[in-house]
């Protein structure tokens, strides 16, 4: 098999950075924030033709992500003064800018796409907002965290972000690899949203892990945080998707719910078509995070992520010079 010079370089970088002696940045490149533009005027609610279940399931990501990503930004801005590694500080600042752009892009999809098709979104977005502004707030449920626990509470939440970022990296690679969507004639705008976002998740996949370790996060706490975070994410995703499906007359008789076996059986069934990741596959992909030897550089491909990002239509649209009308 032929190996390109870039692939050799990336392989060498992984080996060199696999176990950094210093708990600082392990990202061997500069993370780059990008501005994007999406036009939702022509995107159908069933954006994968003849695949309403998969379309609704993926659409739920638009409702899950913004509140969490804005929460990431708030926490990382709090952590900035505590960072002593210059490269990691630069990584975190770029990460914040990328995550803010992700949140705004998905917010735009909610307002101009999902609501435009008559989908009730407040139930799902309100839940996510409360999760991050009440339960995981600086003062959870309005209760002041004792001074001596403030840093521990911050690092605890940074550990949750590290676990979530592992899952988003996995989903990012899935989005870039999935050709079944293209073969089915899926909407190009929504595909670009998923792949642009996913590629940036792969690009900055080390940042959350590095920051967590830099501020004192260890393996045992990473293990139990992942054990909490992964099942919770699965349930939130399935529950939110069920709410969207309830608004589709084709699923009304099924009474979709994350607490009914039908939803999980249908998820597994539809995944065999290649339009959704199988829940068991996702579960297996999360297991490396539980290993003491885990490092994000061994997950995903920076080269492939950057290749997509440089060709993303939503990004390229912002790079075109304005042409004056004549």
Whether the Cβ atoms of residue 182 and residue 191 lie closer than 8 Å to each other: yes
Nearest to residue 180, comparing CAs of 58, 282, 265? 58
Q: With 90 as the cut, is the pLDDT of residue 21 above it? A: no
pLDDT of residue 281: 96
Say if 297 falls within a structural domain.
Answer: yes
> What is the tally of structural domains in the chain?
1
More confident residue, 255 or 2: 255
Distance spanning both ends of the chain, measured CA to CA: 53
Would the pLDDT of 6 be above 90?
no
Percent of the chain residues past pLDDT 90, beyond the cut:
88
Q: Using an 8 Å Cβ cutoff, are 241 and 125 in contact?
A: no
pLDDT at 7: 42
Mean pLDDT of 114-124: 98
169 within a domain of the structure (yes/no): yes
Q: Does any domain span residue 2? A: no
Please state, in angstroms and rounded to a whole number, the distance separating the CA atoms of residues 242 and 240. Answer: 5
Confidence of residue 322 (pLDDT cuts 50, 70, 90): low
Phi (first) and psi of residue 275, to 5 degrees: -95, -5
- Read off the pLDDT band of 252 (50, 70, 90): confident
pLDDT in tens, 122-173: 999 999 999 999 999 999 999 999 999 999 999 999 999 999 999 999 999 9
Residues contacting 131, CB < 8 A, separation 6+: 67, 68
Q: What is the mean pLDDT of residues 182-191?
A: 98
Q: Is there a domain that residue 324 lies in?
A: no
- Identify whether the C-beta of residue 17 lies closer than 8 Å to the C-beta of residue 297: yes
Residue at 167 is within a domain: yes
Degrees, nearest 5: CA angle 88-203-93: 35
Q: pLDDT tens, 22-33?
A: 589 999 999 999
In a domain, 323, yes or no: no
Q: What is the pLDDT of residue 185?
A: 98
Residues 43-71, mean pLDDT to the nearest whole number: 98
Residue with tokens 């840093």: 151
* In-domain check, residue 205: yes
What is the token pair recorded at 207?
Answer: 């940042």
* Predicted confidence (pLDDT) at residue 14 exceeds the cutoff of 50: no
> What pLDDT was estimated at residue 319?
87
Is the pLDDT confidence value at 113 over 60?
yes
Domain that holds residue 166: 45-316
Among 115, 118, 119, which residue's Cα sits nearest to residue 107? 115
Buried b (16+ CB within 10 A) or exposed e, 272-286: eebbbbeeeebeebb
| DSSP assignment letter at 110 | I
In this prediction, residue 1 carries a pLDDT of 36
Which CATH number goes with the domain that contains 173?
1.20.1260
Asked if the structure places residue 305 within a domain, the reply is yes
Q: Do 242 and 256 touch, CB atoms closer than 8 A?
A: yes
CB 180 within 8 A of CB 274: yes
**302-306 long-range contacts, CB within 8 A, separation 24+:** 302/10, 302/29, 302/202, 302/203, 303/6, 303/7, 303/10, 304/176, 304/199, 304/202, 305/172, 305/176, 305/199, 305/200, 305/202, 305/203, 306/199, 306/203
**Considering only 22-26, 168-172, 179-183, 254-258, which range has the smallest mean pLDDT?**
22-26
């Amino acid at each position: 098999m032929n190996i390109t010079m870039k692939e050799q370089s990336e392989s060498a970088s992984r080996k060199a950075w696999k176990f950094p002696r210093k708990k600082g940045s392990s990202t061997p490149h500069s993370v780059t924030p990008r501005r994007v533009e999406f036009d939702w005027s022509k995107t159908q609610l069933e954006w994968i033709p003849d695949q309403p279940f998969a379309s609704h399931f993926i659409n739920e990501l638009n409702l899950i992500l913004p509140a969490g990503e804005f929460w990431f930004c708030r926490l990382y801005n709090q952590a900035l003064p505590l960072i002593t590694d210059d490269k990691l500080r630069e990584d975190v600042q770029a990460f914040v800018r990328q995550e803010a752009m992700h949140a705004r892009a998905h917010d735009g999809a909610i307002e101009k796409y999902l609501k435009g098709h008559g989908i009730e979104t407040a139930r799902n977005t309100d839940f996510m907002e409360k999760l991050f502004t009440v339960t995981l707030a600086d003062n959870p449920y309005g209760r002041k965290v004792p001074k001596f626990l403030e840093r521990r509470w911050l690092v605890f939440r940074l550990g949750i972000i590290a676990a979530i970022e592992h899952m988003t990296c996995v989903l990012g690679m899935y989005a870039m690899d999935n050709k079944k969507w293209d073969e089915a004639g899926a909407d190009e705008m929504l595909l670009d949203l998923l792949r642009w976002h996913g590629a940036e998740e792969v690009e900055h996949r080390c940042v959350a892990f590095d920051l967590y370790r830099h501020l004192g996060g260890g393996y045992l706490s990473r293990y139990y945080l992942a054990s909490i975070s992964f099942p919770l994410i699965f349930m939130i995703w399935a529950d939110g998707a069920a709410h969207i499906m309830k608004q589709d007359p084709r699923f009304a008789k099924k009474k979709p719910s994350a607490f009914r076996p039908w939803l999980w059986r249908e998820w597994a069934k539809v995944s065999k078509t290649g339009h959704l990741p199988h829940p068991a596959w996702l579960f297996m992909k999360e297991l490396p995070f539980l290993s003491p030897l885990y490092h994000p550089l061994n997950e995903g491909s920076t080269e492939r992520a950057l290749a997509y990002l440089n060709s993303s239509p939503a990004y390229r649209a912002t790079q075109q010079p304005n042409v004056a009308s004549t």
